[in-house]
Structure formats: C-alpha cells, structure tokens
Amino acid sequence: MKVLLLLCASCFLATSYAGYRDDDYVINTKYFPDDFLFGVATASYQVEGAWNEDGKGENIWDYLTHLNPAVIKDRSNGDIACDSYHKYKEDVALLKDLGVNHYRFSLSWSRILPKGFAYQINELGVQYYKNLIKELKDNGIEPLITIFHWDTPLPVHEAGGWTSEFVIDYYADYARLCFELFGDQVKYWLTFNEPKQTCEQGYGSGEKAPFIQSHGIGEYLCTHNLLRAHAKAWHIYDEEFRASQNGNVGITLDTPWFEPNTTSEADLAASERILQFMFGWYANPIFNGDYPDIMKTRVAERSKQEGFSSSRLPEFTQEEIDYINGTFDFLGLNHYSSYMISDMPEPEIGAPSWENDTAVLYWQDPSWTPSASDWIVVSSTAPTEK
C-alpha cells in the first residue's frame, strides 16, 4: 500500500531548512527516494480570500466569523487571507522557487457550488481552479486536490450539515462534479482532510466551526456520515472515472504518536486505546471495514450506563461495512506531534464525552523542543523504562 506522507507548509519549512545548502540555494534531496513527492499544502479558506467574489457562496467559516468575530482570538478571518484567488500566479512562482514539485490544495465547495447543492454551478469559480491547475502544471508542479477541507457551504450546514445523513449525497454530487471538471488534469484526490478535526472540534468540543458542542454524540454522528461520504466518493471515482482518468483517491488522516508512560500493561493498553480512538476511528473502517473493537465496546458500555438505549457510536450495517472496506488507493498522513500516555481510572458516568470514552491521560514533556511553528516534534520515541 502506498502511504503519502504529507508535510504541511510549516513542517516543510523546517524540512527545507535542514537540507538548506549555502552554496547553491537548493533543497538537498539526496536522502529521499527518487519517487518521494516534495510538496506543501494549503486549504481554500486559509489562502484564497475573495470570500464573496465572482459568485462564491457563503460557507460556515465566512458566516460564523462574520456573525461573531470573537470566535477567532485576534478577530481575524479568511475574507482576504493570502489573497491567493487573485495572486495564484505569484503563489505558484513561490512554490517553484521553493523547489517543490507537488502542491496539495483544497477546493472551496461554495466557490464551485455557491448554494452547496448541485443545481447551481459557478463558472467563474470553476475557471479559477482550471487556471490554477494549468499554472501549476506549466511550472512542473503536480496538483493534489483535497475535495473538502472543513468549509461546509452554509446552505448544506443549515440543511443539517455533517450530523445529517443527507450530507452524504450532497457531498457525493459535489465530488462527482470535481472529478468531471478537473479529473483529466488531476491524478491525486483526497476526499477529506483531517476529518477528526472537522468532527471532534466542529461537533463535539465545539471549538471550531460550526462551533457545535455535542460532546460524545455529535462527533460520532459527523464521523459516521463523513466516512460513508468518503466511501461514496471513492466508489463514484472507481466506477465512473477510473477507467478514463486513471487517478488515485485517498483521504488525509491525522494522528499524533502516543508513547506509554511506563511499560505497565495498563499504560501500554492506554496508548493503544487512544491510537484507536484517534486514528483507528477513521482508518479502521476504511482499511478494515468497521470501527475498532475497543471503541465499539467502550462506547456501548458507557452509553448503556449513561441511560442510552443504544450506543452513541453508530453502527455500520453489514452492507455498509462491505461498501466502506477498502475504499482507498493511498493514505495521506498528517503528523504534528507526540504525547505521553498513561492509563486513568474509569471516568465517572455522567455527561457523555469522547475524552471520557478514551479514559487516558496525556501530556507533553516540557523538555521536548518545539518546531518553528510550536509543534513539539519528537524524533525518537523509543520506550524508556521508568
């Protein structure tokens, strides 16, 4: 299986710095295999700006940052961002200057479908992406496209968003359109970027858009729909486009690494458990058909004790398991940091939460050095006897 290790922009800077050579100003790639894809990545809301230009519709970040600017610490927003909508040629020149040969960016669903649904296509938005793809290819840079990177169109959110099953079909319509419009030029597709963040922060802890706090319930519903939407997009590509376009469809997941605090059985089990709750939650259904057993057992047991008549973790039917199982051509993995893990006593039964379903304590050692972007990068994770 191919695993695509995706380096985010900030990580990339650290990488390129390490390989920087005074004499010729090129990135030293000699330690990487020939087929290593060097690249950087962005998300539409983070870079495009032009939030309401040329027919683009409103997404949840536009709407919610305008409604309540205080949701962002310094009250900034993505209205202009890096202005890449206007400056994409400059940005491609910068990529070329960096020496990368791949660029992962996301499509703004609301720029292509201003109302979120398939009945209205914004030709100017489509043209923007065609221009960007052409500019990249003219400069020898291969595009990798993320179909969805957190910017749900407002009308799709208002119709239920990611906690509603209908989103699967709306997303599938949008994904099919993307394959149709850009698939002759694009060979690497990512259905979603970091779904854990979209679902947990968006619908569980509610720290990020759409700021819904539904601990222990919303994030599981969101994930359940998102995984089925991913599978549907993969099947659409497989059945309708693969033969003519011959590309690859995967997903980008993110996970930290978890290091047990001691070699006790309880700590070893705890670090495996949190890996399953973070990474297995998404990877296991796609690579093996279903949620990890430890999640199924723990959430079902706690739900029962909390008084629910069924598990807060939804169940896949056998038909869905067969449909989702194996829906990947590659895996994209975003990795930022690591945590120490220790077991904790079973949290009291009360209000449900994903954190309490995991029942682990995690922390970072203050002696670990942060990267330039403040992520603590731990290069050696050999278990230490304590």
Ligand X SMILES: *[C@@H]1O[C@H](CO)[C@@H](O)[C@H](O)[C@H]1NC(C)=O
* Residues in touch with ligand X (CB under 6 A): 215, 261-262, 288-290, 321, 325-326, 342, 347-348, 350-351, 353, 355-356, 361, 386
Handedness of CA 136, 140, 145, 149 (dihedral sign): negative
Handedness of CA 106, 112, 115, 116 (dihedral sign): negative
DSSP string, 50-62: -TTSTT---BHHH
Closest CB to ligand X among 287 and 336? 287
What does the alpha-carbon distance between residue 189 and residue 230 come to, in Å, rounded to a whole number? Answer: 11
Beta strands in 161-265 (DSSP E): 188-193, 248-254, 257-260
CB atoms inside a 10 Å sphere around CB 112: 26
The alpha carbon of residue 343 and the mean position of all alpha carbons in its chain are separated, in whole angstroms, by 28
Q: How far is the CB of 250 from ligand X (least distance, A)?
A: 17
Beta bridge partners of 251: 331
Closest CB to ligand X among 160 and 326? 326
Integer-rounded Cα Rg, in Å, for the chain is 21
Q: How far is the CB of 321 from ligand X (least distance, A)?
A: 5
Q: What are phi and psi of 82, to 5 degrees?
A: -90, 5
Where do we find the tokens 């962005």? 42
Closest CB to ligand X among 99 and 347? 347
Closest CB to ligand X among 102 and 230? 230
Closest CB to ligand X among 319 and 348? 348
* Strand, coil or helix: 376: strand
Q: How far is the CB of 260 from ligand X (least distance, A)?
A: 9
Beta bridge partners of 193: 252
Nearest to 226 by CA among 204, 259, 247: 204
For residues 210 and 152, the answer to whether their CB atoms sit within 8 Å is yes
Handedness of CA 350, 195, 50, 54 (dihedral sign): negative
Nearest to 248 by CA among 164, 360, 331: 331
Closest CB to ligand X among 140 and 326? 326
Closest CB to ligand X among 307 and 350? 350
Closest CB to ligand X among 102 and 224? 224
Closest CB to ligand X among 19 and 289? 289
Nearest to 140 by CA among 182, 187, 93, 86: 93
What does the alpha-carbon distance between residue 315 and residue 317 come to, in Å, rounded to a whole number? Answer: 6
Q: How far is the CB of 176 from ligand X (least distance, A)?
A: 25
Q: How far is the CB of 297 from ligand X (least distance, A)?
A: 15
* Strand, coil or helix: 315: coil
Q: How far is the CB of 347 from ligand X (least distance, A)?
A: 4
For residues 48 and 107, the answer to whether their CB atoms sit within 8 Å is no
Q: How far is the CB of 350 from ligand X (least distance, A)?
A: 5
Q: How far is CA 26 from CA 32, 90, 104, 351, 355, in A?
A: 14, 20, 21, 55, 45
Closest CB to ligand X among 193 and 284? 284
